[in-house]
A and B are shown apart, each in its own frame.
Chain A
Amino acid sequence: MLFGLFMEAYMHDFNLVYITLFFVFSLAFSAGPLGVLNLGHLKSTFVSSSRLFAHEEGLITLSIKNVSPTTSWSITLYGEEDSIHLPSLKGESNTLTHLRYLPKKRGSFSYQNCYLESRYPLSTARLTLAIKEVYEGIIYPEPRGKTLEAFLNEEETHYGEEKEFDGLSAYDGSQKLTHIHWPSVAKGELSVKTFIKETQTPNLVFDFYKAGKQNEARLSQLCLWVLACEKKHLPFAIKMPKSYLSTQKESIDEILTILATY
């Protein structure tokens, strides 16, 4: 387009074309400083993110603050794997943004190389503002394995007796065959009966070695049970090879961190 305009001006020496051309150039160049003003006042910081698990998509949260009194327009936040377009960031305001993140493995991790990009006011000015801060976090093991219910069923005698009918739930292969709810099977739905245990055993103990055959599988299984216990507010303990973890001593996050960094 610019080349065509230039040729038009060159061939004809039409000042109208020259003026158009010079406006195009000047606007394209003025987009730079205006882009800097648009982007330069933004301050980004990582905010403590929600729990991240291996092979499960999680969210990395950033707080973007516009310290200028004027609105910043058309900003895109780029993370390691994801980007988010923010149409406007009002002056002197704070915005929370979440970047999707799919961790590959458990353990501690660093989330870095994030940057903000502005194509405002014109695409000719593509400006970036690197976010120098590095987010250090923990990726917990992928929660995978037998459900806590299945574990409790297997360990029924130890942890109480089923007395009162509680309702129906979907059959996942781990329940007893005697608990299958046959009327629902007749209707084409495979459901099992669930019962409330009469007595809840306070000493719910998971054994690292019994949780699976391999370490990763064991950690994933334990992670699943820990999360299920947390949901049901059940106290529990884990027999680790060299330690004994208990909710009476450690918080859930501490237990999960030990599992993540095992």
Chain B
Amino acid sequence: MKSLRFWLPTKLNTPMPPLALLDMGYIAVLLPLLVTLKAPMILFSVMVLAILFFKRSPAQNMLVLFVFIMGILGIYLSLYGAFSFRGLSRLKLFLELLVYILLVVVAMQRLTQKINMYLLISPFLFLALSLFFYHSIAMLSYIIFEIFFLLWMILAHRMEGKLVDSFRASMVMFMYSLPWVVVLFIFFPRISFEHASYGFKGETIQRMGHDGTMFLDGNALLVPSDRIVMEVGFEGRIPPASALYFRGSILYYDKKDHWEALLYPERKNKAYYPTQGEKVHYKVTLYPTQKKWLYLLDMPSRQVIDSTLDRDLISTVKKNIDEPIHYAGSSSLSPYYEDTLDKITRKASSYYSQSQNPKTYIQAQKIKHSYDTQSQRASAVNKFFKTQVLTYTLTPDALDTNHTSDSFLFDKRRGYCVHFASSFVTMARMTGIPARIVTGYKSDRSESLNNYLSIKEKDAHAWAELYIDNRWVRYETTATASSIEGETQESLSQKSTHPLMKKINLYLMYIKYNIETWILYYSHIRQLQLLDYAKNNPQFVAGFVVSLIAIILLSFTIVAYFRRPSYSSEALAILQPLLKQLKKHGYTRKESESMHQFLLRYHSQNPNHPHIKEIDTLYESILYQANNSKQKHLLLKKRVKKALN
């Protein structure tokens, strides 16, 4: 219990020793990093905490050496396997190593109970390191708390360890800074957009849907990342989820383990644009993809300025997109569009290898011979997929890359969009229908509110287009899945049964969306957008200024509250306005004078001033009589008010 008392003062404003303040700071900054620690390092941390808890005297050299050895052992066991020179090139592993080393060094220094500069700086290093690991709303909230908490501890150290006084002071300082942070955050010139990695290699992730190649093997690692790829603002309402297909690239060539696009310059010649279906107009902010595709809603009906729209309705720019771009798009919401196949396209979209997927071929031939029209055959393929009891999963087993369709349809039967789309296209081709794969993004509107829609990396998708009756028709191939794996469903679905819960969820999403859009993903481009918008909208500027003033007023109200003087009694606090007024009239209480003497002195010189005598009696009775009721305080308040008037 003695050890516990070191950290927990018996009275709130009891001075805390500097080491205890430092420990509290460390606890605050280490909490988010604890999640990233591996078991051996957690054990090491627990061991150090236990030593600190039970050993009150400074540690001897032998104990420090023991902790050092245990720390090194902890680091070794934590990074065993992952640790290599190659592994060090991965940013997160490198940062993890830094955290471990810092943890061991801090533990050794803390055991000596000597506060030196390194021990004082390390909480800030931990804070900075934790910023590498998280980028979420939770971390945003925690960072703000951390900054406040560290400020509190610093001020507590400066204010003789008094927690209550230092809390008030830190609230004052924090609220005083808040408007500045808001202004700086919005207007501070941003220098770069790209998330660099200090020359470290990435995590070797293959992202799909927007890189022009679709892998089916182990490279097809699906990363359900929450990184926003693009934001779309519709001029009207957001179209239904079933129409939210954003076209990226079109893939024709089956290269066994991956599919490739058709490189053919003539495809630029587009005869006409789709006109069927509901017209929608929207603005897109596309974040850097390092690729040339612009994503447009199926089916694009107008070319984007400074881009090319080819006959496959694929929109591209000349250079890779390495900074955020904005474009206005127009589309006709339709699952098909008319086209005339040229020779090359027909050949490319009809090619298949019989030997590559013999089982699929046999089934396709059965369909081909059973149905005459392409439409019937496409329906039969769709039906066949459904009878194969395929499971949609984000963690499929590896397919046989020499026989991908056979492996998927007849053996593994587990996969996600790429496996469904590639097998579907292969089988459709085998039945005599020209077919191709479209990659892009498919939104389910879960990340939308009002007219805003955000598309994230996890929305990357692949689907099929079949050429039926002179039209390219979209087929959602994953719809043929008989089931969705539990874990996958969990990560995909956002079901809340109760309507109230749905509503709350929607509002939370809206807040989340706004925080993410305007805080977490606020960028150079957003800044420019905001300034541009402000230039043309004086009302917005007025609203912004009013909001800023409101924030400043709120901050200063809180500052005034926490800066209010603390008096020894409530009665004395009630008297303050009266004392101020008397001071204005030249009557100040002398140091040696009691309140009673002071009020009597004033009364003797101003006998006509009402209520002074009564106030004096009331004040004395509150201070010295046992019956110290609330009513008396209220009465004193009333009398003071009257005296002021």
**A residues adjacent to B (C-beta < 8 A):** 1, 4-5, 8, 10-20, 22-27, 29-31, 33-34, 69-71, 73-74, 87-88, 91, 94, 119-122
Q: List 8 A-B contacts (CB under 8 A).
A: A13-B191, A15-B185, A15-B521, A16-B520, A29-B177, A31-B173, A74-B159, A122-B158
Are B196 and A88 neighbours in the complex by a CB distance under 8 Å? no
B128 touches A70 (CB 8 A): no
Which residues of chain B are within 8 angstroms of A122 by Cβ–Cβ distance?
Answer: 154, 158
CB of A12 within 8 A of CB of B159, answer no
Q: How far is the CB of B200 from chain A (nearest CB, A)?
A: 11
The number of chain B residues with a CB under 8 A from chain A is: 50
Complex contacts, A74 vs chain B, CB 8 Å: 158-159
**B193-225 contacts to A (CB < 8 Å):** 193-196, 198
Instruction: Please report the C-alpha to C-alpha distance between residue A97 and residue B551 in the assembled complex, in whole angstroms.
Output: 42
Q: Is there contact, CB below 8 Å, between A13 and B523?
A: yes
B180 touches A20 (CB 8 A): no
Known: A12-B196, A15-B522, A27-B151. A4 touches B565 (CB 8 A): no
A71 and chain B: residue at smallest CB distance: B165
Residues on A with C-beta less than 8 A from B178 are 26
Q: Are B131 and A17 in contact (CB under 8 A)?
A: yes
Q: Which residues of B contact A18 (CB under 8 A)?
A: 185, 188
CB contacts (< 8 Å) of B181 on chain A: these are 19, 22-23, 26
CB of B271 closer than 8 Å to a CB of A: no
B121 in the interface, Cβ–Cβ < 8 Å? yes
Q: Return A117 CB to nearest CB of chain B, in Å.
A: 13
Which residue of the partner chain, among A27, A70, A87, A119, contacts B160 with CB atoms under 8 Å? Answer: A87
A11-B196, A12-B196, A70-B565 in contact; A30/B173 too (CB < 8 A)?
yes
On whether the beta carbons of A88 and B185 are closer than 8 Å, the reply is no
Nearest residue (CB) in B for A93 is: B591
Residue of B nearest to A2 (CB): B124
B582: Cβ under 8 A from any A Cβ: no
Asked if residues B124 and A16 are in contact (CB atoms below 8 Å), the reply is no
Q: Is B107 an interface residue (CB 8 A)?
A: no
Contact with A along B122-148 (1 / 0, CB 8 A): 001001100110110001100110010
Would you call B563 an interface residue if the criterion is a C-beta within 8 Å of the partner chain's C-beta atoms? yes
Chain A nearest CB, measured from B465 CB (Å): 37
Q: Hey, which chain A residues are within 8 Å of B169, CB to CB? A: 34, 73, 121
| Interchain CA distance A11-B91 in the complex, whole Å | 13
In Å, the complex CA distance between A122 and B172 comes to: 13
- Specify the main secondary structure of chain B where it touches its partner: helix
Let me know if A73 and B124 touch, CB within 8 A.
Answer: no
Question: Using Cβ atoms and an 8 Å threshold, which residues of chain B touch A14?
Answer: 131, 135, 195
Inter-chain contact B192/A13, CB cutoff 8 Å:
yes
Knowing A34-B173, A94-B591, the reply to whether A16 touches B143 (Cβ < 8 A) is yes
B147 to chain A: which residues have CB within 8 Å?
20, 23-24, 27
Cβ-defined contact, A30 with B128, below 8 A: no
CB distance B140 to A10 under 8 Å?
A: no
Q: Tell which of B128, B131, B151, B565 has the most Cβ of chain A within 10 Å.
A: B131
Chain A hits for B524, CB < 8 A = 13
> Does A22 lie within 8 Å of B185, measured CB to CB?
yes
Q: Are B158 and A34 in contact (CB under 8 A)?
A: no
The docked-state distance in angstroms from the alpha carbon of A23 to that of B127 is 13
Partner of A30, one of B124, B144, B180: B180
In the complex, chain B residues 520-575 whose Cβ is within 8 Å of any chain A Cβ: 520-524, 563, 565
Q: When the two chains form their complex, are residues A10 and B160 in contact, meaning their CB atoms are under 8 A apart?
A: no
Distance of A91 Cα from B573 Cα, bound (Å): 14
Shortest CB-to-CB span from A54 to chain B, Å, is 36
Q: Is B519 an interface residue (CB 8 A)?
A: yes
For the complex formed, measure the closest distance between the CB of A21 and the CB atoms of chain B, giving whole angstroms.
9
Please determine whether B519 and A15 come into contact, CB atoms closer than 8 angstroms: yes
Q: A30 near B523 (CB under 8 angstroms)? A: no
How many residue pairs between the two chains, A and B, have CB atoms under 8 Å in the bound complex? Answer: 114
Q: How far is the CA of A5 from the CA of B565 in the complex (A)?
A: 37
Closest chain B CB from A79 CB (angstroms)? 22
The answer to whether residues A16 and B139 also contact, given A10-B192, A11-B196, A11-B198 and a CB cut-off of 8 A, is yes
Contact (Cβ within 8 A) A13 B194 = yes
For window 20-60 of B, CB contacts with A under 8 Å fall at: none
User: Nearest chain B CB to A88's CB is how many angstroms away?
Assistant: 6
Least distance between A258 CB and chain B CB atoms (Å): 37
Q: Does B155 contact A (CB under 8 A)?
A: yes
- Cβ-defined partner of B195 (8 Å) among A13, A24, A25, A29: A13
Select A22's contact among B173, B180, B521, B523, beta carbons within 8 Å. Answer: B180
A34-B172 contact, Cβ under 8 Å, with A20-B131, A26-B180: yes
Q: Judge whether A34 and B176 touch: CB under 8 Å.
A: yes
Tell me the complex Cα distance, A29–B195, Å: 29
Please tell me if the beta carbons of B193 and A23 are within 8 angstroms of each other in the complex.
no
Q: Are A30 and B520 in contact (CB under 8 A)?
A: no
| CA distance in complex: A23, B144 (Å) | 9
CB of B62 within 8 Å of the partner chain:
no
Residues of A within 8 A of B195 (CB): 12-14
Nearest-neighbour CB distance to chain B for A73, whole angstroms, equals 5
Q: Are B121 and A27 touching (Cβ within 8 A)? A: no
Could you say which of B121, B191, B519, B565 contacts A1, with CB atoms under 8 Å apart?
A: B121
A88–B158 CB distance below 8 A: no
Closest Cβ neighbor of B139 among chain A residues? A16
Cβ-defined contact, B135 with A16, below 8 A: yes
Q: How far is the CA of A208 from the CA of B131 in the complex (A)?
A: 80
Q: How far apart are A259's CB and chain B's nearest CB, in angstroms?
A: 37
**Distance between B590 CB and nearest chain A CB, rounded to angstroms:** 12
Let me know if B626 is at the binding interface, CB within 8 A. no
Q: Does A121 lie within 8 Å of B158, measured CB to CB? A: yes
Which 7 A-B residue pairs are closest in the complex by CB-CB distance?
A: A69-B565, A26-B177, A26-B180, A22-B184, A30-B176, A11-B196, A22-B181
Residues on the B chain within 8 Å of A13, using CB: 190-195, 523-524
Q: How far is the CA of A33 from the CA of B196 in the complex (A)?
A: 38
Residue of A nearest to B129 (CB): A8
**A-B contact sample (9 more), CB < 8 A, given A22-B185, A23-B147, A33-B176:** A1-B128, A16-B134, A17-B131, A18-B185, A19-B181, A23-B177, A25-B184, A27-B173, A34-B173
Which residues in A have their C-beta under 8 angstroms from that of B132? 8
Contact check, A73 vs B158: say whether CB atoms are below 8 A apart.
yes
Do B173 and A121 touch (CB < 8 A)? yes
Nearest-CB residue, chain A, relative to B130: A16
Check B180–A120 contact: CB distance below 8 A.
Answer: no
When distances are taken between beta carbons in the complex, the residues of chain B under 8 Å from A34 are 169, 172-173, 176
CB neighbours (8 Å) of A26 from chain B are 177-178, 180-181, 184
Interface pair B173/A4, CB less than 8 Å apart: no
Residues in chain B near residue A70, CB distance under 8 A: 563, 565
Given the complex of chains A and B, what is the CA–CA distance between A70 and B563 in angstroms?
7
- Tell me which of A12, A69, A121 contacts B155 (CB under 8 A): A121
> Residue of A at shortest CB range from B194?
A13
B191 neighbours in A (Cβ, 8 Å): 10, 13
A22: shortest Cβ distance to chain B, in Å?
4
Contact A16 to B521, CB < 8 A, known contacts A27-B151, A27-B173, A27-B177: no
A29 CA / B128 CA spacing, docked (Å): 21
Distance between Cα atoms of A33 and B559 in the complex (Å): 13
Q: Are B185 and A4 in contact (CB under 8 A)?
A: no
Across the interface, name the chain A residue whose C-beta is closest to B175: A30
A119 nearest CB across to chain B (Å): 8
Tell me which residues across on chain B come within 8 A of A94, comparing CB atoms. 591
Tell me whether A1 and B124 are in contact (CB under 8 A).
Answer: yes
